[in-house]
Amino acid sequence: MSSLVKRLCEVPLLSRVSHLRLCRRKIQNYNICYTVLRHRWMKSLPVLGSSFRQLTTQQDKEAVDMSKFPVDRIRNFCIIAHIDHGKSTLADRLLEMTGAIAKTEKNRQVLDKLQVERERGITVKAQTASLFYTHAGQQYLLNLIDTPGHVDFSYEVSRSLSACQGALLIVDANQGIQAQTVANFYLAFESQLEIIPVINKIDLKNADPERVESQIETVFDIPSEECIRISAKLGTNVEKVLQAVVDRIPPPVGSISDPFKALVFDSNFDHYRGVVANIAVIGGRVNKGDKIVSAHLNKTYEVNELGLLRPDEQPTQKLFAGQVGYLIAGMKDVKEAQIGDTLYLQEQPVEALPGFKPAKAMVFAGMYPMDQSEYPALRSAIERLTLNDSSVTVQKDSSLALGAGWRLGFLGLLHMEVFNQRLEQEYNASVIVTAPTVPYKAVLSSAKLIKEHGREEITIVNPAQFPDKSLVSEYLEPMVVGTILSPDTYTGKIMSLCLSRRAVQKNMVYIDEQRVMMKYLFPLNEIVVDFYDLLKSLSSGYASFDYENAGYQAADLIKMDFLLNGRPVEELTTIVHRASAYSTGKAMCERLKESIPRQLFEIAIQAAIGSKVIARETIKPFRKNVLAKCYGGDITRKMKLLKKQAEGKKKMRRIGNVDVPKDAFINVLKSERHASNVGRKRDKQNGDENNTSDPLVRRGMSK
């Protein structure tokens, strides 16, 4: 070996590189050979050697000794807040102050790593970072988790809280307490975490921290003396936040002497290394090379790599009780790393941790590949993305028009749009997404159907499978309790909007002299698409909205089909309340007319309930002027040409197919809401001879 190395160092540089390539094929133990060559190369080439030495120093930096952080010097905490209250900006300052990242002006939302997060300016995925902080002469390990602020990603928040003992509750000094602030506070409160209120953006011109402190005391019963006033953008008083984390948040419960037990609270898929699991070590210790077992699958793995996230991966040899880090154990299948799983040592079995409650999907939509040949690639992409976003539920589905696909469940419409965007950006997958719907229930009346389904009550996530009224005793629709916080000047407009969505007011409380908190019971179907957008529009952007599940309630529901030239389009089928059926059908037909491109033949767009058409729009065909060459003569000549053209159009309409553009599904549903509200108001104002506001009754349709 040494003679080979000596011979290589004596030849010119170009030849030396070519010899090195040959050695890769010849020498089996290539890693040792490469190390020797590299060191000899540095001695003979000092200019290149210095740059190589610098690179290797960065890559092979000494691993952190995790044993010097006992449980009493560890603090696990997360940052929770309403959207755009400065969580990610505060995380940047904490990373800078503890030396995790270099202090530069380019540090903006460092933990927002996804492209969709950068584009939309929101946090979608909870991110972890470990910080080293010296306080009162002792070095502490602070494990920070930055969480999303939008209601659609509340499952990320609830999972993050399970790995923490405390939370920083950030409130904007200008906007004050918002709906998601309240929701996140109660999530942390139920998890029995120590909550530190932090008032951010005190540098703003209109900031009023005294008012916000009063709100926090009124709504959350936290004394105003415990609030910390900061400016995350300028770094003002951020040091006090770190001191409060050390002094007020308790250390994790656990001991190094206990058997190893770890909770998998997040995971993602790496093409080369397999599944990378984020773990919170509850007790004991784990070393690189240990044999561990997954409680969910009862499979054994060897720990290939483990370490901290600072926020980039920094490998270590061990992790101890109370610490949070990442673990790679050769899991190649996305189904092997279930979020909420328990890991333990092979020789020391332990009782599995309770894990997480499964997320309850609030919105369902069909997802299909643009071409059926792309089905396997899209299936792989969805599996890998659902590993990283476990709140999405997946069921196989098929459509006559679109072929094989999936029926996916999401926590909200924004969640659905972000998931679709991530599929396109991260996996280059182009998909067709159908109109979003909510899960309904039907109580069956037929004994035959009850026996077939095995239960009396069935859940319907696909409107095409909505059972006929003759087969059920009643329909049930999902309800939610919505919380709205707004300046009191907009109360009248907001109440009108809520009433137009069949909402029932529960209570109304003033949290200070100018802001009011209202609670309403909503049908989920009425708010899931564009209620939030309209609320923001009516309140000039000042109102905030959050909702939570409130079970099911009986409702008068009907299935509405949409026909294009007499052919039903299954993907546009929707379930509506009877009172709003006509206005909804009319508005959707109008939107379809705008979305579907004109053809060489006439297209009839119809909304139908059963066999009765309740609304229709017609898309006129492109038409050639066949009379252009007739400059006179008998009328029969012209009639003959027009008749021939009409027969051709008729034949074309019979055999022609109408393609609905893929973006039409969501656009149609989004736009029809406003139009249906206008329709309802118009129907109320006009009235009719029977003095009824039900448009279906006026059109002779019996209930």
Query: Is 150 annotated as contributing to ligand binding?
Result: yes
pLDDT in tens, 7-32: 545 555 444 444 444 343 333 333 33
What Rg value do the Cα atoms of the chain yield, rounded?
Answer: 31
Which range of 47-61, 74-88, 434-448 scores highest in mean pLDDT? It is: 74-88
Query: Is 148 annotated as contributing to ligand binding?
Result: yes
The tokens for 397 are 């589905």
Which CATH class, in words, describes the domain spanning 363-433? alpha beta
| Residue-level pLDDT at 63 | 60
Residue 272: Cβ-neighbour burial (10 angstroms; 0-12, 13-18, 19+): exposed
User: Which CATH entry fits the domain spanning 66-248: 3.40.640.10, 3.40.50.300, 3.20.20.10, 3.40.50.620?
Assistant: 3.40.50.300
Over residues 206-214, the mean pLDDT reads: 92
pLDDT at 677 over 80: no
Q: Which amino acid is at 527?
A: I
Q: Where in the chain is the domain with CATH 3.30.70.2570?
A: 558-668
Q: Do residues 283 and 321 lie in contact, with contact meaning Cβ atoms separated by under 8 Å?
A: yes
Q: Which amino acid is at 484?
A: I
Residue with more model confidence, 644 or 473: 473
| Residue-level pLDDT at 658 | 65
Query: Is 546 annotated as contributing to ligand binding?
Result: no
Query: Is 415 annotated as contributing to ligand binding?
Result: no
Question: CA 398, 404, 410: angle at the middle one, nearest 5?
Answer: 70
Q: Do residues 466 and 440 lie in contact, with contact meaning Cβ atoms separated by under 8 Å?
A: yes
Query: Is 83 annotated as contributing to ligand binding?
Result: yes
What SS3 class is residue 416? helix
Give me the chain's average pLDDT, please. Answer: 79
| Residue-level pLDDT at 74 | 92
What SS3 class is residue 175? coil
| Tokens 């953006």 belong to residue | 201
For 219, phi and psi rounded to 5 degrees?
-85, -40
Query: Is 451 annotated as contributing to ligand binding?
Result: no
Over residues 570-588, the mean pLDDT reads: 86
pLDDT in tens, 76-89: 999 999 888 888 88
Query: Is 146 annotated as contributing to ligand binding?
Result: yes
What CATH number has the domain spanning 440-555? 3.30.70.240
Residue with more model confidence, 470 or 240: 240
Query: Is 86 annotated as contributing to ligand binding?
Result: yes
Question: CA 323, 193, 75: angle at the middle one, nearest 5?
Answer: 30
Residue 678 CA to residue 673 CA, distance in Å, equals: 9
> Quick one: pLDDT band at residue 495, thresholds 50, 70, 90?
very high
Question: CA 144, 148, 154: angle at the middle one, nearest 5?
Answer: 110
Query: Is 663 annotated as contributing to ligand binding?
Result: no
> Quick one: pLDDT band at residue 354, thresholds 50, 70, 90?
confident
pLDDT at 623 over 50: yes
Residues in the chain: 703
Q: Where in the chain is the domain with CATH 3.30.70.870?
A: 363-433
Q: Where in the chain is the domain with CATH 3.30.70.240?
A: 440-555
| Residue-level pLDDT at 10 | 55
> Quick one: pLDDT band at residue 169, thresholds 50, 70, 90?
very high
Helices (H) and strands (E) in the chain, counts: 20, 31
The helix, strand and coil proportions of the chain, stated in percent and rounded to the nearest 5, come to: 40, 30, 35
Stretch among 47-51, 172-176, 679-683 having the lowest mean pLDDT: 47-51
Fold of 261-345: Elongation Factor Tu (Ef-tu); domain 3 (2.40.30)
What CATH number has the domain spanning 558-668? 3.30.70.2570
Residue 65 CA to residue 53 CA, distance in Å, equals: 23
pLDDT at 691 over 50: no
In the chain, pLDDT over 90 holds for what percent of residues? 23
Q: Do residues 316 and 309 lie in contact, with contact meaning Cβ atoms separated by under 8 Å?
A: no
Residue 265 CA to residue 277 CA, distance in Å, equals: 8
Residue 662 CA to residue 597 CA, distance in Å, equals: 12
Over residues 63-82, the mean pLDDT reads: 86
Query: Is 200 annotated as contributing to ligand binding?
Result: yes
Q: Where in the chain is the domain with CATH 2.40.30.10?
A: 261-345
Query: Is 221 annotated as contributing to ligand binding?
Result: no
Cα torsion angle, 384, 389, 391, 397, sign? negative
Query: Is 577 annotated as contributing to ligand binding?
Result: no
Residue with more model confidence, 242 or 448: 242
Over residues 389-401, the mean pLDDT reads: 82
| Tokens 């009425």 belong to residue | 526
| Residue-level pLDDT at 645 | 75
Query: Is 166 annotated as contributing to ligand binding?
Result: no
pLDDT in tens, 253-272: 888 888 999 988 888 888 88
Q: Where in the chain is the domain with CATH 3.40.50.300?
A: 66-248
**Strand 515-523 versus strand 194-200 pairing type:** unpaired
Query: Is 625 annotated as contributing to ligand binding?
Result: no
Residue 209: asked if its preceding bond is cis (omega within 30°), the reply is no
Q: Do residues 352 and 263 lie in contact, with contact meaning Cβ atoms separated by under 8 Å?
A: no
- pTM, full prediction: 0.70
Contacts of 434 (CB under 8 A, 6+ apart): 365, 366, 367, 368, 402, 571, 572, 665
The tokens for 157 are 């928040």
Query: Is 203 annotated as contributing to ligand binding?
Result: yes
| Residue-level pLDDT at 57 | 35
pLDDT in tens, 628-669: 677 777 778 788 888 887 777 666 555 556 666 655 655 565
The tokens for 508 are 């109304």
| Residue-level pLDDT at 668 | 61
Strand segments, DSSP code E, in 101-216 are 127-135, 138-146, 166-172, 194-200
